[in-house]
């Protein structure tokens, strides 16, 4: 009985955290304009049988090191201006816009941490209110995932 009560409170706290993350992602925040000081392209290797590689791209400004897609990295040149939209609560960069070309993007990991995980967790927590015995394991996994997501957002 005590464990059920604690689990219920863990779901409620996780749902509140997910709502905060979701609101932080969706509300407009501060805007900064910064020049690109440097572009980095790093080869990432996987030491497995297939020897797969991919490239990661970073845009470096005075105050930020930004992950970017290959498409945006190919458009941006050193000295170009970027419009950065920063979230209010967690100070995460939600959107990067290359001002000369008006090309913008949201980094894919930001979509996952700011939108997908919180929405999925809230949906499962609400469904578990209707069917309390069906989604226990999935709820537990999403509580752990939501906590990890919060730690990732706070640390990064």
138 in the same domain as 101: no
Whether 83 and 150 map to the same domain: the answer is no
Same-domain check for residues 14 and 58: no
Confidence of residue 97 (pLDDT cuts 50, 70, 90): very high
**What pTM was computed for the model?**
0.83
The domain containing residue 140 runs over which residues? Answer: 2-26+111-155
Q: What is the pLDDT of residues 69-78, one digit of tens each?
A: 999 999 999 9
Name the band, by pLDDT with cuts 50, 70 and 90, for residue 144: very high
74, 68 contact by CB (below 8 A) = no
Residues 36 and 59 in one domain: yes
What pLDDT, in 10s, does the model give residues 25-65? 999 889 999 999 999 998 887 776 667 788 889 999 999 99
Q: How many domains does the chain contain in total?
A: 2
The dihedral over CA atoms of 95, 98, 104, 110, expressed in degrees to the nearest 10, equals -30
Query: 94 with 135, same domain?
Result: no
37/22 same-domain check? no
Do 44 and 91 fall within a single domain?
yes
pLDDT recorded at residue 6: 86
């Amino acid at each position: 009985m005590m464990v059920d009560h604690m689990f219920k409170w863990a779901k409620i706290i996780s749902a509140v955290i997910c709502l905060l993350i979701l609101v932080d992602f969706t509300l407009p925040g501060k805007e900064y304009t910064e020049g690109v000081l440097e572009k980095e392209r790093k080869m990432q290797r996987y030491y497995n049988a297939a020897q797969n590689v991919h490239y990661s791209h970073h845009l470096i400004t005075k105050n930020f090191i930004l992950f970017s897609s290959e498409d945006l990295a190919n458009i941006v040149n050193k000295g170009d201006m970027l419009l950065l939209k920063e979230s209010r609560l967690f100070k995460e960069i939600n959107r990067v816009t290359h001002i000369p070309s008006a090309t913008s993007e949201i980094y894919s990991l930001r979509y996952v941490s700011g939108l997908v995980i919180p929405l999925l967790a809230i949906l499962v927590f609400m469904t578990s209110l209707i069917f309390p015995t069906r989604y226990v394991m999935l709820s537990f996994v999403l509580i752990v995932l939501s906590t990890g997501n919060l730690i990732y957002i706070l640390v990064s």
